[in-house]
Amino acid sequence: MRTLVTLMLGSLCSLALAAQDSAVDTLPIDNLRERLEALEPTDPVAYFQLGEEVAEEFETPEELELARTLFVLAFHLDRDQAGTIAPSCAIALAQLQGIGQDRDWLLSLTHALDQRYAAPDWRGALPSVGSDHDAYQAAVAVGRVRSGHGREATALLQDPDVMAMILRYEPLLSPANQPGSADWLMREARKWPCPECGFNRVSRAIDASNSGYVKCRVCSGNPGPEITQEELIAQLRFEARMLNGVQRSWAAQVIADAGAPLRDPTPQDLAPILGIDHRKSLWREGNWIAPDRELSPPEPDAPAIPAVEEEEGDISTSDSATSA
Per-residue pLDDT in tens (0 to 9) along the chain, 324 residues: 444 434 444 444 555 555 677 778 888 898 999 999 999 999 999 999 999 999 998 888 889 999 999 999 999 999 988 888 999 999 999 888 876 677 888 888 888 887 676 555 444 444 445 688 999 999 999 999 999 999 999 999 999 999 999 998 888 898 877 778 999 999 999 999 888 888 888 887 777 566 678 888 888 888 999 999 999 998 998 998 888 765 555 555 555 555 555 566 788 888 988 889 999 999 998 899 998 876 555 555 555 555 555 444 444 444 444 444
| Structure confidence by residue, pLDDT tens digits, 96-115 | 887 667 788 888 888 888 76
3-state secondary structure of 287: strand
| Structure confidence by residue, pLDDT tens digits, 68-92 | 999 999 999 999 888 889 999 999 9
Domains of the chain, by residue range, sit at 2-126+263-283, 132-247
Q: What is the pTM of this model?
A: 0.52
3-state secondary structure of 289: strand
Neighbours of 188 (CB within 10 A): 19
Q: Distance between CA atoms of 260 and 301, rounded to whole angstroms? A: 52
Paired with 203 in beta bridges are 214
Return the pLDDT at 178.
75
**Angle made by CA atoms 235, 180, 283, in degrees to the nearest 5:** 105
Return the pLDDT at 249.
55
